[in-house]
């Protein structure tokens, strides 16, 4: 849904989807192939060939495995590809519970204007410890943030920020295409402001906005099952619904 809203080039074949984002080749999960089933014997070479054909010139390899139970498939085939297997939890909710300890002294509102979005760019780097990232990575982040702003400007959703003493301390987006699903994106908090309830308040406010302004019936968020954020989402009323499988091989230093 998000890639379509953003104008990605999507090729549909009987056994896979290929998604390309020509304007941001460094966005690995904007340039990937989604395969229709877990890996079986012989699939490593097959899907590597499909990826090379559909995403020409890519130094990375990114494959999603369609399914709901977290099964990536044959371990030997995955080893041949040299991929890292990531299985995230997809959580859903129809209504959220207000946070037990809402933050005080904060303002939660949509991002508006160049200054807000510039802060969102810097917050993303800080949230991932990437303030000193090389120019190529900063360009990728800048393009991704610009895409998110364009989606908001087109009316597909909103990006809210939590402002502490006038500065952006946390941010996240929510998008929908009219089919009743609302998809959260990039819940991020500045490292200096974590464990103060900013993210909980932000996710709750976004959920209310999505239901009233976008007609969202089901809220969807994806989380690492081993990271603290998933407990935050469950406390707000999200429940585990399915598993999402992503296979990734990063470029080598020479390829990058």
Could you state, in order of their start, the residue ranges of all structural domains in the chain? 2-88+245-249, 106-236
Torsion of CA 232, 124, 174, 69, to 10 degrees: -60
pLDDT of residue 253: 58
Per CATH, which fold does 106-236 belong to? Aminopeptidase (3.40.630)
Confidence check: pLDDT of 31 > 80: yes
Q: Using one digit for the tens of pLDDT, what is the confidence trace for 33-47?
A: 999 999 999 999 999
Residues in contact with 40: Cβ distance below 8 Å, sequence separation at least 6, in sequence order: 73, 74, 77
pLDDT for 252 equals 74
Q: What is the CA radius of gyration of the chain?
A: 19
**pLDDT tens-digit profile of 60-70?**
999 999 999 99
Q: What is the pLDDT of residues 99-124, one digit of tens each?
A: 988 899 999 999 999 999 999 999 99
Mean pLDDT estimate for the chain: 96
- Asked if pLDDT for residue 139 goes beyond 90, the answer is yes
- Condensed to tens digits (0 to 9), the pLDDT of residues 212-241 reads 999 999 999 999 999 999 999 999 999 999
Work out the burial of residue 120: count CB atoms within 10 Å of its CB; fewer than 13 is exposed, 13-18 middle, 19 or more buried. buried
**pLDDT band, residue 254 (cuts 50/70/90):** low
Q: What is the pLDDT of residues 6-25, one digit of tens each?
A: 999 999 999 999 999 999 99
Residue with the bigger pLDDT between 253 and 15: it is: 15
């Amino acid at each position: 849904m998000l890639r379509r809203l953003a104008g990605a080039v999507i090729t549909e074949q009987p056994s896979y989807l290929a998604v390309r984002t020509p304007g941001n080749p460094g966005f690995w999960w904007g340039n990937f192939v989604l395969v229709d089933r877990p890996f079986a014997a012989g699939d490593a070479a097959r899907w590597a060939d499909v990826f090379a054909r559909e995403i020409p010139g890519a130094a990375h390899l990114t494959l999603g495995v369609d399914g709901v139970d977290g099964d990536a498939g044959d371990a030997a085939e995955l080893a041949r590809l040299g991929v890292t297997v990531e299985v995230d939890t997809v959580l859903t909710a129809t209504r959220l519970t207000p946070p037990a300890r809402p933050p005080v002294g904060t303002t939660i509102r949509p991002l508006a204007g160049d200054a807000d979005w510039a802060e969102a760019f810097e917050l993303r780097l800080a949230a991932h410890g990437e303030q000193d990232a090389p120019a190529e990575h900063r360009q990728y982040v800048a393009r991704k943030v610009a895409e998110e702003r364009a989606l908001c400007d087109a009316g597909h959703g909103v990006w809210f920020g939590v402002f502490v003493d006038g500065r952006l301390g946390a941010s996240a987006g929510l998008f929908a295409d009219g089919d009743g699903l609302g998809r959260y994106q990039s819940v991020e908090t500045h490292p200096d402001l974590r464990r103060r309830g900013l993210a909980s308040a932000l996710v709750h406010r976004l959920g209310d906005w999505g239901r009233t302004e976008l007609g969202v019936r089901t809220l969807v968020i994806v989380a690492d099952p081993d990271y603290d954020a998933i407990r935050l989402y469950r406390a707000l009323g999200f429940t585990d619904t399915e598993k999402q499988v992503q296979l990734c091989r990063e470029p080598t230093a020479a390829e990058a």
